Amino acid sequence: MLVFMILIMRGEGQLRENFYAASCPNAETIVRQAVVTKMSLTATAPGTLRLFFHDCFVEGCDASIMIASPNNDAEKDASDNLSVAGDGFDTVAKAKQAVEAICPGVVSCADILAIAARDVVTLSGGPKFNVELGRRDGLVSTASRVKGNLPEANFNLDQLKSMFSNHNLSLVDLVALSGAHTIGFSHCEFFANRLYSFSPPSPIDPSLDPTYAQELIKLCPKNVDPTFVVGLDSQTSRTFDNLYYKGLVAGKGLLTSDAVLLKDPATNATVTDFANNPLNFNTAFATAMIKLGRVGVKTGNEGEIRRNCASFNT
């Protein structure tokens, strides 16, 4: 009974589908329309999905990443979050405004972010799945808490596995969630070491497909514009599909943290399975997203329902 009560107090036990059926029955429809509108104007899918990951891995899924600080010391101001596209923040803000107009003070920013993350996946060609809701917005957002809590581009599998397992995410979840890179982009600095300084005898990482490596060198010369980005999926970077995994198998994993998924025997079979079976990938991704959405959720007095996602109520 004590363990059960602790789980309830931590919030996971209170998340459920159709949480707002009585209090704001059109919440998900309103969010989806805001996402559709935003996607018609700009490529917001990668930024919105990444925003959800970065939020949940630090402080839990509580929209703490949305807070804007006048002193630039909130979670979003940490160096690891500066590359998160502003379109994602704007998508959630627009959706929140639309929901507030119909159901003021009812739906949390954390839930809106979770719904929007699901919707950008579906609208990009990915799987449909139901989102568990009932989160409250966090009361803490500090830049200093970010470092060491987000996966890095040069992580090996042990580092990735440790970070994901800290959030009760399995190896299959890790490989599946990495598939979000099918609609992701990376700045050149995060993989330049694989092109110019991999090792003294081999400046280019030999695990990279040679033709692909030369394409990357042309796209990312040593003095490239730091704002330039390259698709993590070399074939369909705006469509949610399993070609990211086909790229890994073909030696076209852009980041070290991508490439290790194929190299390591612990994850190789799952990568190969997802490359050959898109349905298996979609199913695993949906399951992993639901599990990710349960990380560190706040309920009751642990959080609040923000009126504005960028600022605390008090």
Residue 6 predicted with pLDDT over 70? no
Of 98, 104, 97, the C-alpha closest to 23 is 104
At 38, the pLDDT band (50, 70, 90 cuts) reads: very high
* Cα three-residue angle 107-109-93, rounded to 5 degrees: 115
Q: Say whether 75 counts as a known binding-site residue.
A: yes
Q: Is the distance from CB of 284 to CB of 48 less than 8 angstroms?
A: no
pLDDT digits (tens, 9 = 90+) for 95-132: 999 999 999 999 999 999 999 999 999 999 999 999 99
Q: What is the pLDDT of residue 238?
A: 87
Binding residue per annotation — 236? yes
Higher pLDDT among residues 129 and 300, named by residue? 129
Task: Confirm if 232 and 178 have CB atoms less than 8 A apart.
Answer: no
Q: How far apart are CA 155 and CA 9, in angstroms?
A: 34
Residue 234 assigned ligand-binding role: no
Phi, psi of 177 (to 5 degrees): -70, -30
- The band of 7, judged by pLDDT with boundaries at 50, 70 and 90, is very low
Residue 263 tokens read as: 């190299």
| pLDDT score, position 13 | 53
- β-strands 185-187, 229-231 pairing: antiparallel
146 has a pLDDT exceeding 50? yes
Give, as one character, the DSSP assignment of residue 130: P
Strand-pairing partners, residue 229, are 187
Residue 141 has pLDDT above 50, yes or no: yes
Q: What was the pLDDT predicted at 236?
A: 87
Identify the pLDDT of residue 10. Answer: 45
Q: Is 28 annotated as a binding residue?
A: no
Find the range with the poorest average confidence among 25-29, 115-119, 224-228, 244-248.
Answer: 224-228
The angle that helices 109-123 and 45-57 make with each other, rounded to 10 degrees, is 140
Q: Is 54 a residue of the active site?
A: yes
Residue range 218-243: mean pLDDT, rounded:
92
Check whether 60 is labelled as a binding-site residue: yes
- Residue 151 known to bind ligand: yes
- Residue 1, pLDDT score: 36
Task: Give every CB contact of residue 61 below 8 A, 6+ residues apart in sequence.
Answer: 52, 55, 110, 113, 114, 135, 292, 293, 294, 295, 296, 297
- DSSP sequence for 208-222: S-HHHHHHHHHHS-T
| Whole-number average pLDDT of the chain | 93
Q: Which two tokens stand for residue 212?
A: 């692909």
* Mean pLDDT of all residues in 45-53: 96
Output the six-digit token pair for 197: 């300084």
At 187-217, the pLDDT tens digits run: 999 999 999 999 999 999 999 999 999 999 9
8: confidence class by pLDDT, cuts 50, 70, 90: very low
From the list 32, 38, 50, 54, the catalytic residue is 54
pLDDT confidence tier of residue 2, bands split at 50, 70 and 90: very low
Instruction: Tell me if 249 is assigned to a ligand binding site.
Output: no
**Contact call for residues 50 and 7 (beta carbons, < 8 A):** no
Q: Where are the beta strands (DSSP E) in the chain?
A: 185-187, 229-231
Which tokens belong to 73? 């010391």
Is 132 labelled as part of a ligand binding site? no
> Is the sign of the CA dihedral 42, 95, 240, 64 positive or negative?
positive
Closest alpha carbon to 140 in 64, 76, 89: 64
Q: How far apart are CA 32 and CA 123, in angstroms?
A: 9
Q: Is 260 annotated as a binding residue?
A: no
